[in-house]
């Protein structure tokens, strides 16, 4: 497994994002809050982390929900997976939504999301008048599923 070096500035009092286990795909990232933040049912808020990154060109960092937070508290990420581009230098913020029926509190240092480093390619789009045909053709949503 290749290790990618990413420069990080941590303006929070929390530890850097890290992998919980040797086999973890994602690094947990924590909320950087001066006071607890209440998230009402169906409310969404942008949560600061105090983390700034210099991601190498050819890579992105994806922001994804934490399964435990979603299961236990009904909190998940919107715009998921979110992408942090290699040329972005601002603070990493996480867009959370409370899908539970009860208000939930986010505290400083809470693990609110996970970060996944992924290689990316850029495409050259070529304008044409016709595409090659396939068996699926124009079959859209649910087209490949089995119907009852």
Residues 33 and 36: their CA atoms lie apart, in Å, by 7
pLDDT digits (tens, 9 = 90+) for 97-115: 999 999 999 999 999 999 9
Domain positions in the chain are 7-119
Residues 6+ apart with CB under 8 A from 141: none
- Position 24 scores a pLDDT of 93
The predicted model gives 21-50 an average pLDDT of 97
Whether the bond between 81 and the residue before it is cis, its omega within 30 degrees of 0, is: yes
Q: Where are the beta strands (DSSP E) in the chain?
A: 7-10, 18-19, 27-30, 37-39, 44-54, 59-64, 75-77, 82-84, 91-98, 104-106, 111-119
Give the distance from CA 91 to its chain's centroid.
14
Top CATH class, 7-119: mainly beta
Could you tell me the pTM of the whole model? 0.86
Q: Is the pLDDT of residue 146 over 70?
A: no
pLDDT-derived band at 121 (thresholds 50, 70, 90) equals very high
pLDDT digits (tens, 9 = 90+) for 48-84: 999 999 999 999 999 999 999 999 999 999 999 999 9
Of residues 137 and 75, more confidence is placed in 75
Q: Is the pLDDT of residue 44 over 60?
A: yes
Lowest mean pLDDT across 15-24, 63-72, 130-139: 130-139
Name the phi and psi angles at 23, rounded to 5. Answer: -95, 5
- Position 145 scores a pLDDT of 62
């Amino acid at each position: 497994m290749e290790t990618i070096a990413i420069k990080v500035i941590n303006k929070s009092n929390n530890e850097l994002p890290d992998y919980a286990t040797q086999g973890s795909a994602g690094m947990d990232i924590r909320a950087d809050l001066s006071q607890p933040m209440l998230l009402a049912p169906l409310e969404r808020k942008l949560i600061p982390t105090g983390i700034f990154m210099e991601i190498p060109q050819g890579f992105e960092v994806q922001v994804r929900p934490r399964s435990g937070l979603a299961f236990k508290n009904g909190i998940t990420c919107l715009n998921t997976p979110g992408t942090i581009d290699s040329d972005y230098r601002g603070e990493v913020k996480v867009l959370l939504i409370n899908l539970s029926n009860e208000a939930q509190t986010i505290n400083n240092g809470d693990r609110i999301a996970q970060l996944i480093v992924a290689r990316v390619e850029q495409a050259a789009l070529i304008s044409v008048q016709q595409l090659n045909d396939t068996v699926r053709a124009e079959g859209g949503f649910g087209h490949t599923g089995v119907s009852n």
